[in-house]
Amino acid sequence: MAAVTALRETALLVNTARGLVLLAMALALEVGVSRRILDPVFFSSPSQIYTAFVTMFQSGTLQRHVWITFYEVALGFATGAILGTFCGLLLSRLRLVARIVVPFFMMVYGLPSIVLAPLFILWFGIGVMSKVAISVYVIFFSVFIAVYMGALYTDQELIDAVRVMGASRRQLFFKVILPATAPQIYAALKLGIGLALIGAIAGEFIAARAGLGYMIFFATGTLDTPTVYLGIIILALFSVILQEGVNLLGRALVRWKFYDEK
């Protein structure tokens, strides 16, 4: 009980400190911009950002940009994560096929997503699906590599011991290999959610009609600094929300030893 109380007190202290840091940064920006210590072309005050938020929210354009980016990231992340996990687990069992296919995967993985983004836009157009395709691309390989390597190097002594006890291939996979690979799956998803966001925004920067990336890019071109900062703040909140969603999934994947420092 004392340990739980201590953890709660520590969490309260940490969260309070975080809040104070954010407040200090906001006050510094407000004072710096209002007194022209900071150039308003490059910096924006919280009050200006709030005004931009209210204006765009009332017109409905902000909700549209947020929803499109969220849809792109969520669909791209889910599709890429499922495909990457499935292929990683499958090829870790099909060693001969893996020796043929994996080098090609690694070759494609080495190509920067920003280089392939125009190709995806050429294939799928400037709409939502091209951004989803970019997100799937960056997610798939990061998840695949982590899962494949985790499943490939599962403790061989443990596998042999379970085989000696008469476990079938199905039991071996679901009782040993999959649980042993779960931490790698969680780590890959934790990394992948940020990559999915990067992929979608990169695609919106190149060619889009809507989305937070498009909003930021357009505002930058018109020197609308408050809108640029508003888009960045929303993306930061996006990242936090999505990371928390992955944390909840992590508690289900590795519930026997999951922990996450808050």
Regions in the chain scoring below 50 on pLDDT = 258-262
- The pLDDT of residue 54: 92
- The pLDDT of residue 156: 66
Model-level pTM?
Answer: 0.77
Question: Could you confirm whether domain 44-253 is CATH 1.10.3720.10?
Answer: yes
Considering the chain, tell me which residue range(s) the CATH 1.10.3720.10 domain(s) occupy: 44-253
Q: pLDDT per residue over 220-253, tens digit each?
A: 888 888 899 999 999 888 888 888 888 877 776 6
Q: pLDDT per residue over 150-184, tens digit each?
A: 777 776 666 667 777 776 777 777 777 777 777 78
Mean confidence (pLDDT) of the chain: 81
3-class secondary structure per residue, the chain? CHHHHHHHHHHHHHHHHHHHHHHHHHHHHHHHHHCCCCCCCCCCCHHHHHHHHHHHHHHCHHHHHHHHHHHHHHHHHHHHHHHHHHHHHHHHHCHHHHHHHHHHHHHHHCCCHHHHHHHHHHHHCCCHHHHHHHHHHHHHHHHHHHHHHHHHCCCHHHHHHHHHCCCCHHHHHHHHHHHHHHHHHHHHHHHHHHHHHHHHHHHHHHCCCCCHHHHHHHHHHCCCHHHHHHHHHHHHHHHHHHHHHHHHHHHHHCCCCCCCCC
